[in-house]
Structure 1
Amino acid sequence: MVTDRRARRVIVCAAALYLLGVARMTLWPDFASPGELDAVRSLVAWLTRRGIPVTYDGVEAAANVVMFVPFGVLGGLLVSRQYRSTVVAAGCAVSAAIETSQLLFLPTRVPTVQDVVLNTAGAALGLLGLAVVVAARRTGPDATRVQ
């Protein structure tokens, strides 16, 4: 957990902006124009022709994971170490709330359990990445230096 007040305020602001971005991306009736989706499909086709095994569904799945990595990082920075596992549960809850909102209020969106699982995995990966960085900083060459 970040204890410096200024740093904590910056992280809280970053988390708020991040959550607003997620809300914009997931809770608007149309998240992308048909032209933007066609551009993604064209990129996938271009990559596939060059021997890179990419599918549109794979890109969408990866995007769901990547979208929640910051959730895990920012959440991990905001809670104490003993509560870090709750960050993954919170990521799951936020994702489930998004998918439920899409189901109830956004007929143009396609809510899925898969999105909840992938978003939760993203939050877990973000938290894991944070833990790796923190551990590396504690055990790095500068960790034993007296300051």
Structure 2
Amino acid sequence: MLQPPTRRRVVAALVVYLALVARLTLWPAPAPSSTFDLVRSVLAWLSRTGIPLTYAGLEAGANVVMFVPFGVLVGLLVRRWWLVVLLGFGLSAAIELAQLFFLPTRVATVQDVVVNTLGAALGVLGLHLVRWRMARRRVPSTG
């Protein structure tokens, strides 16, 4: 049977995750232009194959995905789902404010706060669905 991770391991994973998020979001210079050329090429290829994904849509989706682990990891530490979402909102707002006030080469947006918070909510929702499903498997069915 799958054992839940220890609190110490969850905290260690959260620290590593937060360090990666800080590196990604608070580094003064954005990714090199060659990276954006690659992204544009992939988006053009997707468009030619019938998948009309825009750069803005890809960026928004990436911001959602980036905060899903936050929702899962913090959800393993905090039992209240709404607190996980609130903490995700707070972290995202702090990142965007740091970009606004201290990183002139970065662009701070309200949209990033919204989609990051959505990612945290989806992460904690996914965690609760897995917990619910595991609990149902443990309970013998009657009837």
TM-score normalised by L of structure 1:
0.90
Please report how far the alpha carbon of residue 85 of structure 1 lies from its aligned counterpart in structure 2 after TM superposition. Answer: 1.1
Cα RMSD (Å) = 1.7
Q: CA deviation at 1:84?
A: 2.4
Deviation of residue 31 (structure 1)?
A: 3.2
Report the Cα distance in structure 2 between the residues aligned to 1:60 and 1:16, rounded to whole angstroms.
24
2 CA distance for matches of 1:29 and 1:42?
A: 25
CA deviations over 1:70-128 (Å, ceiling 9, x no partner) = 01000100012xx2210100000000000000000100100000000000000000010
User: Which of 121, 131, 143 is residue 124 of structure 1 equivalent to?
Assistant: 121
Structure-2 separation of matches of 1:84 and 1:62: 22
Structure 1 residues 26-79: Cα deviation after superposition (integer angstroms, max 9, x where no partner):
000123111011111110011001111211111000001000000100010001
User: Could you tell me which of 82, 85, 90 is aligned with 1:85?
Assistant: 82
Tell me if structure 1 keeps the 8 A contact 2:69–2:123: yes
**Residue 20 of structure 1: aligned partner:** 19
5 Å-filtered alignment, 1:40-51, equals 40-51=39-50
Structure 2, unmatched stretches of 5+, are none
Q: Is 1:98–2:95 an aligned residue pair?
A: yes
- Equivalent pairs, count: 139
Q: CA deviation at 1:7?
A: 1.1
Give the corresponding residue for 1:9.
8
CA distance in 2, matches of 1:37, 1:144: 53
Is residue 2:140 matched to residue 1:144? Answer: yes
State the Cα distance separating 1:143 from its structure 2 match.
Answer: 3.5
How many angstroms does 1:129 deviate by?
0.4
Gaps of at least 5 residues in structure 1 are: none
Cα pair 2:30 2:105 within 8 Å, conserved:
no
- Which stretches of structure 1, 4 residues or longer, exceed 6 Å deviation after superposition? none
- The residue identity in structure 2 corresponding to 1:131 is H
Distance, in Å, in 1 between the alignment partners of 2:68 and 2:86 is: 13
Counting aligned pairs with the same residue, the percent is 57
